[in-house]
Structure 1
Amino acid sequence: MYLNVHSHYSLRYGTMSMPQLIDEAVALGITQMVLTDINNSTGVMEFMRTCEEKGIKPIGGMEFRRDKKLLYIGIARNREGMKELNDFLTLHNLEQKELPDLAEAMDNAYIVYPFGHTETLRNNEYLGIRFDELSQLYHQDLLAIKDKLLVLQPVFVADKLGYRLHEYLRGIDLNTLITMVGPADKCTDTDRFLPPGELESRFNKYAFILDNTRNLMNTCVMDYPKGKVHLNRRTFTGKKEDDKALLYKLAIEGLERRYGKNNKAALKKVKEELKVIDELDFCAYFLITWDIIRYSMAKGYYHVGRGSGANSTVAYCLQITDVDPIELNLYFERFLNAQRTSPPDFDIDYSWDEREDVQDYIFKRYGKAHTALLGTMSTFKDRSVIREIGKVMGLPKAEIDSFTDRTKEAENKNNPTFKKIMAAYALMGNMPNQRSIHAGGVLISEEPITYYTALDLPPKGMPTVQWDMYEAEKIGYDKYDILSQRGIGHIKEAVCLVEENLQQKIDIHQVKIFMQDPNLNTRLHSGNTIGCFYIESPAMRQLLIKLGCDNYLTLVAASSIIRPGVAQSGMMKTYIQSFHDPKNVKYLHPVMKETLGDTYGVMVYQEDVIKVCIHYAGMDGTDADILRRGMSGKYRSRTEFDKLVEKFFEGSMLLGRAEETTREVWRQVSSFAGYSFSKAHSASFAVESYQSLYLKTYFPREFMVAVLNNYGGFYSRWLYVHELKKAGAVVHLPCVNHSRQVVCIRGMEAYLGLIGIQGLENKFIELLPEERRLHGDYTGLEDLVRRTGMGLEQVIILIRVGALRFTGRSKKELLWDVHMLLGKKDKPLSDAELFRVEAKHYELPTLINTKLEDAYHELELLGFPLSLSMFDLLQTGYRGDLCTSELISHVGKIVKMVGLYVCEKTVHTKNNKKMWFGTFLDAEGNFFDTTHFPDSTPVYPFRGTGCYLILGKIVTDFGFPSVEVIRFAKLPIVDNPVMA
């Protein structure tokens, strides 16, 4: 009888998860029901799976609302009906049209209007009447509508507690107090499953309505395929045998390109992989990925193929990845094997400004009906929800602030209001809050994708499914990850700049040559890697130095060792010690030596976790991989995950492993696996790092300009400007006659871009260089204003940043001029002047402009000074007892240093105290690092950007010197002369 049931996917309205919803139904003896979440079909496939497990007949549907008003309910007779409902909503979502008052005609779906609907009903249309509306039937002639009446008993909540949670959700959604949520804004407290027999008894005078409802539901059969199915596009060419032949041909051609004609080992490996790919029906998956790569390479786009897909030699031959699995001894089974329960995937990275075109190609090539971006679901688990609950309750801001302050949890724990908030937070913590878009997943479906979901249109403007990657996997979809990253943008633009600035072409894909280049490996060893992808952070540069990393294979390991799990478990230090002293490695167990000998008994890669689970704990490969995925947050069922953890311990015990050893092995597995990379993933990152290293080593100026123009690096912008100057470039302030939107370089001369000027409007950032390109350089202030139509405020910004210095007049003279020219009217001069009247010129007294004033202008408008350094702005001339280059010769001594703040990192100690790591530049522009222990940090805190006087002890760790801070204070700078 329940044809209007809602799960928590009716966002900020429904309260029950799918398991809770179905368990409630089972407990009440309900045998069939219709899921009709509001304006979405997110949960329909999950609903069908879960119902069938519990012996309930599932029926799919959807409730359509406009604003808060219920328009009608759609109920699918079969999968075609579900598609009709999804298509209907999709059309309105994608065209951004409001839902109409009347549903369109449908052949395979029923439409139920709320009672009171007066329009003529089609054959498939009905009226739903609630039990509290039955009184309206008294003394009416029901003959015309008798066969059209159905029981309408909405289900949103399970009980009184659920209803209160519903009210909180509505308050959050409407951004209002819970007491202000009116009847029209929420459901009624009877919108739930009723006790057995109660619904029938309420309709006992109208048994025909019960019969109508039962008969309608009996005609519905969700005839979707059962069991595990593959829903991706099944073929690339149209025939599976043709796909197999084409993939073989492409793989063998690529084999010769990558390995030469007579590499028997590579040929054997490729043939073995092709056999598995064919047996598991993934030929089309490989060919479609190859097709995407083929398109992007034809467009001149640069890509990086990574993820577990880089374990495949076939993928390497198809140029999907640039990682050689044979060289690295990667095993294909990590990517694709007969026992693997989860689908494989390729992660393909593009430059941030090219990915959208690749996605657009996929939609056009494979059809909009069959292509969609993958969705994602954010939940209420973020602690900011505590603030939202507090607002709904009407609490004052100060009280809410105290409840969200983790340091006050102990004093709040007995506060009744706090308890109430935390109880609500616990109930909604894992509930979905809103649908969003996955970082890069794309689905390409054999059937129209609306058989399985309606589509949203997020801000990206591309159709997006209404469920996430976990649901996609369970339904039977394998995603294609088309991602973007700034590192590729750095490389791509640097190559273009070298060609433009130096007239030199570069083949950036000659990575194997780069790996043998002693100059690149020397740079790697020294940690001089600012701007280079994945190896520029302070922690990574330290690790490179501590390892003495001077080759690709060590870098591959370092790329995974740096991940939080390895570092925090103490295994990073163990690895470094073992790396330098391999003869004295102490293995936890002989199995660890057998399986992890290459990494000195330390789990470095995801594959290592799988190896340990198999060889130490006796698990099979499928369970081992699921356990690894579970610790990475890629497995939803906590119960099943806990069972696998039990298997690990039980298997270890059966194999006679010592309990204490097993506990330590598990500690390492559990602390590591959630943050680890696969070896192929690390190898892909290392390839990209070498490409960056090559550009930084041989074309440092062009490379650093590319880093600046693509943003997204680890450090603040000023540090990359500093590196550009260190590379020998003469860096100029923005200039309206030289600057583009972004930083540009000609020979050794670089001009900062207009885009970095605070307060300058986007339209002028674009207009200034374009107008100059079309009509030549600006001849002066008046010419600039006339040609661009800039107002007083915008021109003043350009004057103060020094962008009009080409006029030969000082900033103060120019400020006088612009006020005389534009006065207080702050509006552009008209191009349609009948007569051109020259502005009057006045003799001014000498107006002195100082570098100190310039530096303050630059601090304000660029975020950093260029005319002077931050050290030049200090009130003191003291620069410390020693510089970075002298640290290693003063180990153990307490010294004073002056450092320019670069960045800091907060970590928590084992007893949950905070400590900090800092990175600074000395007066010579070289890096040094500091450690701030909990006992000193609260007394001497970081106070933002600027220079600091540091008293500390010099220590060394595997040859890397740093300063353990004893005392620490920010140094004052000279006053702004304009403000004095």
Structure 2
Amino acid sequence: MYLNCHTYYSLRYGTFSEVALLELARENEVTRLALTDINNTSACLNFVRRAPDFGIQPILGIDFRNGVDVCYVGIAKNNQGYRELNGFLSEHLHQEKEFPKQAPAFRNAFVIYPFEKVLLNDQEHFREHEYIGISVADLRRLPFSRLMEHRDKLVVLQPVTFRNKRDFNAHRLLRAIDNNVLLSKLPKEEEASPEEKMFPVRNLANVFSEYSFILKNTEQLMHNCSISFDFSVSRKSQNLSTYLESREADEKLLEELCYQGLPYRYPVVDNKIRERLAKELELIKEKGFVSYFLINWDIVTEARKRDFYYVGRGSGANSIVAYLLRITDVDPIELDLYFERFINLYRTNPPDFDIDFSWKDREEITQYIFDRFQHVALLGTYVTFKSRGVIRELGKVFGLPKAEIDFLCEGHYTPSQLDEVSLLVLKYGNLIKDMPNYLSIHAGGILISDKPLHSFSATHLPPKGFPTVQFDMVIAEDVGLYKFDILGQRGLAKIKEAIQILALNQPEEYAGIDIHDIRKFKQDPHINSIIRSAQCMGCFYVESPAMRMLLRKLEVDTYLGLVAASSIIRPGVAQSGMMREYILRHRNPGRAEEKGHPVMLNIMPETYGVMVYQEDVIKVAHYFAGLSLGEADVLRRGMSGKYRSRQEFQKIKDRFVENCRNKGYEESLIHEIWHQVASFAGYAFAKGHSASYAVESYQSLFLRAYYPLEYLVAVLNNGGGFYRSEFYVHEARMLGAVIHAPCVNKSLAVNCIYGKEIYLGYMYLKDLESRVMDRILKERQAHGSFTSLEDFLDRVLISIEQISILIRINAFRFTGVNKHELLWQAHLFLSKGNTVDHPKLFPPTHQDFEIPRLHTTDLETAFTQLELLGFCLCSPFDLLKEPPKNNNGSKDLPACEGRNIDIYGYLVTVKNTKTHTGKRMNFATLVDQQGEVFDTVLFPPVAAKYHFRGKGIYRFYGKVVSEFGFLSIEVLKMQKQDYIQDPRYADMKTANKRSPLARSNKQVTDEELHTSDKKGN
């Protein structure tokens, strides 16, 4: 009886989930139910999937509206009708056009016009598939309406949007958020009627009892509707089933490509390689995954044609077929990769390939995929209302000032501190928290289907400009649609650009480089020594302080060691306590036999019986707990959050424990192993995934080792990495570069290098307009370098504000004229806002002005750089109000091991974390006076007393400790150092307020810092 039901996927309108709707229907004895969200189909597939669990026959439709203005409700007769409705909705969403007053002549869908809308539009004639909807509220007017003449067209159309008053309140809040108005100012026409509720079927029938023909029409319409999708475990894949004209042709092509790839990958092909290839090909064919491999091959082949760098990773890297097709660069034979993690007979979904492209190339390769294949869309996702977002939105709805909203968002309050309105914000925030807010795009998922994707969902058109389905990855897999992951990252862009820069800066070196010769890089002692010493700043995945620390502790100097480190650094291994245990067993081989269980050691000998990779979860579940490979894969997927049935996952867990007991394991061991699996599996990498990361790391490490300056310029030009830009500039200086501020004759928009001289790009000048940069570069390219400020002003259209930025950063230093004098000249040449915007017919003549001689100090230059670039090009220690009282640095830590040290450091980065008891502690990385890096740790008692207060130089007093050979300082006391007063504002009373650095943050006195801990000396 209900043909117009909404869930919270009627975004910022509906108030509960599709499952809650089904529960509500069961409570009201409904057996057939139509889901018709407003201009949205996100809930449709899961609604159909779950409906049988509630004994309900599902019907799908769409409530078509212009804003909140109801046009009509479309009801799909069948799957073809659902596709028609999706196509109609998608067309209007893509083109952002309003729905017409009359619906199209759908062939397989019904259209229901609301009673009020029919009267308003004075509609007289109705096609065969068109009906008039009557709600409970409409019944009082129906007897007096001309629409009684259309007895065979009248059906029940009772909207369902709320369950109770609470839902209605949430709805009003959502509408106020959507309209960006105060709740008190929300127009009534923007709200639904509070009567849009579901009543027991018997009650609804009683209300319409005088109009039995309406009930009969409604029943007949609903019985003519049937929708079905296959959600069974044995469901057929909905992906493109054949790459060529037939399955046989696909299989032949796949074999040919593999054998063509053998000589490229393996100079010597032995029986082990042949047997592995034959095994994989047989299983890939049997599982019907051939087209999936060929589509990925097609994508990467096109990428190579366009000279796009890419990295194939994910569990697909476990496959020799993927390696031979050049989808990945990971040799599964070399790494003994576990093929069953990738594909096994129990696996219904295709292998997981994540293909990373440069962030600059990703959109172009995505466009290629849309052009190359017929039925393509991006995968959607939902952005939900989160705690802070809800507070901000409701704060505005209730009219709270920004300061009070910020206070609530911080969460540092007790309820007694809050006024009535603030308490309302928190109370009602719980009503809408975790509801979907708007549709977005999955990070990299693309669907390539056998049939139009409108068979499954409508599509919308986000800013990227590619059609995007309205459901997420989990629902896609439920219905047999498996994504192709096309991802973007900056690491590949850095590698590619570094080689391009090298071709210009050192063409003789460039000629002999093959960045894809990974086999050579793995054996290079210079590269491996850099890994061992953790001198990896700027290098993909290995530059963070945590990774640098791990590399030193593990003494990594091989490719296999880096593969392990790439996975050990993940949260799951650390949380399970196995990172430390792995390091202990690595450094003391006898410990593995002493601490490890024989079965675990036998399963994972290369990792000392410690779970490091995703495959290890399957191995432990299969060999240790006796689960089948299929059950083990369910366990892995369940722990990563990708498996839908928590009930089935619980069964697998129970089976795990029961099997272990039957094997005679002690309860303590069973629970210890389960704890490791549970805390680890959701975060672990597949081994092939880690190996793929390590390949890219080696490529960047090669460039860092042999062409460090070109590489660091590329790093800077692609947004840096883990650290702020100034530290990559600092690293380049430490490696021999001469760093120059932007120059109008030498610089580009991005950074550039001439020999060993790096000129910073205009991009660092925050307030310099991009159009000004373009004008400078075009004029310089067309007519050569500028000879003077006057020459520049004659040739480049620019305002006094913009030229002032260039002069202040000393971009005209080639003239030899002091920048203060240049500013005078510029002001005399240009009146504010008065620029000439047309070419000059005759060479300009200039009047000579006598300008007083002015001077600029180094300190003034440093503070100007700090203001305009965000960092200064001199040592930050030169800006200290009081010079350091010692020269201690990283070089002194080995000699001070076990003793206290007094040391100064310029803050690089701080990691705030919590202990298992919830207390705050800090890990900080700093640069010493010699430019070398050192690390500190503030344990909870010290972290509670001292706080890092932004960029700047800190003085530390603490104990030098060594853990597995990695030296750091356990801080006992800390003091932020003051910078000298900004000389540009020295004569102003507001000097301290104006200067970004001249702020006192003293936390302990100098005398206190010198007070030593007797035990530490």
What residue is the counterpart of 2:984 in the other structure?
978
Query: Is 786-795 or 34-43 further displaced after alignment?
Result: 786-795
Residue 447 (structure 1) aligned to one of 435, 448, 451: 451
What residue is the counterpart of 2:813 in the other structure?
805
Residue 138 (structure 1) aligned to one of 116, 132, 143: 143
C-alpha displacement of 1:225 = 5.0
Alpha-carbon distance in 1 for matches of 2:787, 2:837 = 18
What SS is found at the alignment partner of 1:714? coil
Query: Is 120-129 or 808-817 further displaced after alignment?
Result: 120-129
1:183 paired with 2:188, answer yes
Any conservation in 2 of the 1:310–1:321 contact (CA below 8 Å)?
yes
Query: Is 161-170 or 435-444 further displaced after alignment?
Result: 161-170
What residue is the counterpart of 1:767 in the other structure?
775
Alpha-carbon distance in 1 for matches of 2:975, 2:228 = 71
Query: Is 882-891 or 308-317 further displaced after alignment?
Result: 882-891
Residue 677 (structure 1) aligned to one of 685, 695, 706: 685
Query: Is 100-109 or 890-899 further displaced after alignment?
Result: 100-109
Alpha-carbon distance in 2 for matches of 1:12, 1:643 = 37
What residue is the counterpart of 2:790 in the other structure?
782
What residue is the counterpart of 1:519 in the other structure?
526
Matched residue type, 1:805: R
C-alpha displacement of 1:252 = 1.2
Any conservation in 1 of the 2:381–2:471 contact (CA below 8 Å)?
yes
1:580-591 matches, cutoff 5 A: 580-585=587-592, 586-591=594-599
C-alpha displacement of 1:807 = 2.5
Structure 1, unaligned runs of 5 or more: none
Alpha-carbon distance in 1 for matches of 2:885, 2:930 = 10
Any conservation in 2 of the 1:731–1:749 contact (CA below 8 Å)?
yes
Query: Is 719-728 or 253-262 further displaced after alignment?
Result: 253-262
Any conservation in 1 of the 2:344–2:630 contact (CA below 8 Å)?
no
What residue is the counterpart of 1:83 in the other structure?
83
Matched residue type, 1:829: V
What residue is the counterpart of 1:217 in the other structure?
222
Deviation track 1:704-749 (CA, whole Å, cap 9, x = no partner) reads 1110111140000000111112222222111111111111112222
What SS is found at the alignment partner of 1:46? helix
1:926 paired with 2:932, answer yes
Alpha-carbon distance in 2 for matches of 1:856, 1:522 = 39
Any conservation in 2 of the 1:113–1:128 contact (CA below 8 Å)?
yes
What residue is the counterpart of 1:540 in the other structure?
547
Query: Is 649-658 or 128-137 further displaced after alignment?
Result: 649-658
What SS is found at the alignment partner of 2:443? strand
Deviation track 1:853-905 (CA, whole Å, cap 9, x = no partner) reads 11111101111111x21011112332635221121121011111111110010
1:206 paired with 2:211, answer yes
Alpha-carbon distance in 2 for matches of 1:964, 1:296 = 49
Deviation track 1:177-233 (CA, whole Å, cap 9, x = no partner) reads 444444322222221211231212222222222222221122112254564121111
Query: Is 631-640 or 735-744 further displaced after alignment?
Result: 631-640
1:110 paired with 2:116, answer no
Q: Work out the number of aligned pairs and report it.
A: 975
Any conservation in 2 of the 1:786–1:830 contact (CA below 8 Å)?
no
Matched residue type, 1:67: G
Query: Is 32-41 or 332-341 further displaced after alignment?
Result: 332-341
- For the structure 1 residues 450 and 280, does the alpha-carbon distance in structure 2 shift closer, same or farther, using more than 3 Å as the test? same
What residue is the counterpart of 1:949 in the other structure?
955
1:280 paired with 2:284, answer no
What residue is the counterpart of 2:749 in the other structure?
741
- For the structure 1 residues 172 and 691, does the alpha-carbon distance in structure 2 shift closer, same or farther, using more than 3 Å as the test? same
What residue is the counterpart of 2:498 in the other structure?
494
- For the structure 1 residues 383 and 638, does the alpha-carbon distance in structure 2 shift closer, same or farther, using more than 3 Å as the test? farther
Any conservation in 2 of the 1:955–1:961 contact (CA below 8 Å)?
yes
What SS is found at the alignment partner of 1:107? coil
What residue is the counterpart of 2:479 in the other structure?
475
Matched residue type, 1:454: A
What residue is the counterpart of 2:278 in the other structure?
271
What residue is the counterpart of 1:939 in the other structure?
945
Query: Is 420-429 or 501-510 further displaced after alignment?
Result: 420-429
Residue 128 (structure 2) aligned to one of 116, 123, 131: 123
What residue is the counterpart of 1:193 in the other structure?
198
C-alpha displacement of 1:382 = 4.1
Alpha-carbon distance in 2 for matches of 1:609, 1:383 = 36
Residue 517 (structure 2) aligned to one of 510, 531, 537: 510
Any conservation in 2 of the 1:35–1:61 contact (CA below 8 Å)?
yes
Any conservation in 1 of the 2:636–2:681 contact (CA below 8 Å)?
yes
What residue is the counterpart of 1:258 in the other structure?
265
Alpha-carbon distance in 1 for matches of 2:148, 2:528 = 89
C-alpha displacement of 1:394 = 4.8
Alpha-carbon distance in 1 for matches of 2:671, 2:350 = 31
C-alpha displacement of 1:630 = 2.7
What residue is the counterpart of 1:870 in the other structure?
876
C-alpha displacement of 1:272 = 0.5
- For the structure 1 residues 244 and 175, does the alpha-carbon distance in structure 2 shift closer, same or farther, using more than 3 Å as the test? same
Deviation track 1:513-563 (CA, whole Å, cap 9, x = no partner) reads 100000011111001000000000011111111111110111111001111
What SS is found at the alignment partner of 2:876? coil
- For the structure 1 residues 159 and 388, does the alpha-carbon distance in structure 2 shift closer, same or farther, using more than 3 Å as the test? same
C-alpha displacement of 1:418 = 7.7
Deviation track 1:105-130 (CA, whole Å, cap 9, x = no partner) reads 22111111221322343332222121
C-alpha displacement of 1:407 = 4.4
What SS is found at the alignment partner of 2:442? strand
Query: Is 150-159 or 526-535 further displaced after alignment?
Result: 150-159
C-alpha displacement of 1:614 = 2.4
C-alpha displacement of 1:389 = 3.7
Deviation track 1:804-841 (CA, whole Å, cap 9, x = no partner) reads 222322110111011111123x1321325566552322
Residue 570 (structure 1) aligned to one of 572, 577, 584: 577
Alpha-carbon distance in 2 for matches of 1:76, 1:594 = 57
What residue is the counterpart of 1:651 in the other structure?
659
What residue is the counterpart of 1:899 in the other structure?
905
Deviation track 1:385-436 (CA, whole Å, cap 9, x = no partner) reads 2443444445565665554444446x66999988865664445443222210
Any conservation in 2 of the 1:879–1:898 contact (CA below 8 Å)?
no
Residue 975 (structure 2) aligned to one of 955, 966, 969: 969
Deviation track 1:487-530 (CA, whole Å, cap 9, x = no partner) reads 11111111111122111232111101100000011111001000
What SS is found at the alignment partner of 2:226? coil
Any conservation in 1 of the 2:48–2:229 contact (CA below 8 Å)?
no
C-alpha displacement of 1:152 = 1.1
Structure 2, unaligned runs of 5 or more: 987-1017
- For the structure 1 residues 142 and 127, does the alpha-carbon distance in structure 2 shift closer, same or farther, using more than 3 Å as the test? closer
What SS is found at the alignment partner of 2:563? helix
Alpha-carbon distance in 2 for matches of 1:308, 1:729 = 41
Alpha-carbon distance in 1 for matches of 2:841, 2:348 = 78
C-alpha displacement of 1:164 = 2.7
1:34-433 matches, cutoff 5 A: 34-116=34-116, 117=118, 118-119=122-123, 120-142=125-147, 144-224=149-229, 227=232, 228-260=235-267, 262-367=269-374, 370-394=375-399, 400-401=405-406, 403-408=408-413, 424-433=428-437
What residue is the counterpart of 1:529 in the other structure?
536
Any conservation in 2 of the 1:587–1:593 contact (CA below 8 Å)?
no
Alpha-carbon distance in 2 for matches of 1:237, 1:515 = 38
- For the structure 1 residues 817 and 396, does the alpha-carbon distance in structure 2 shift closer, same or farther, using more than 3 Å as the test? closer
Any conservation in 1 of the 2:30–2:200 contact (CA below 8 Å)?
no
Any conservation in 1 of the 2:887–2:929 contact (CA below 8 Å)?
no
C-alpha displacement of 1:57 = 1.5
Residue 458 (structure 1) aligned to one of 452, 459, 462: 462
Alpha-carbon distance in 1 for matches of 2:693, 2:564 = 11
Alpha-carbon distance in 2 for matches of 1:622, 1:785 = 73
Alpha-carbon distance in 1 for matches of 2:648, 2:654 = 10
- For the structure 1 residues 940 and 240, does the alpha-carbon distance in structure 2 shift closer, same or farther, using more than 3 Å as the test? same
Any conservation in 1 of the 2:737–2:756 contact (CA below 8 Å)?
yes
- For the structure 1 residues 383 and 659, does the alpha-carbon distance in structure 2 shift closer, same or farther, using more than 3 Å as the test? farther
Alpha-carbon distance in 2 for matches of 1:425, 1:683 = 44
Alpha-carbon distance in 1 for matches of 2:916, 2:596 = 23
C-alpha displacement of 1:332 = 1.5
Deviation track 1:130-172 (CA, whole Å, cap 9, x = no partner) reads 1212222234444642222221101112223322332333233
C-alpha displacement of 1:604 = 0.8
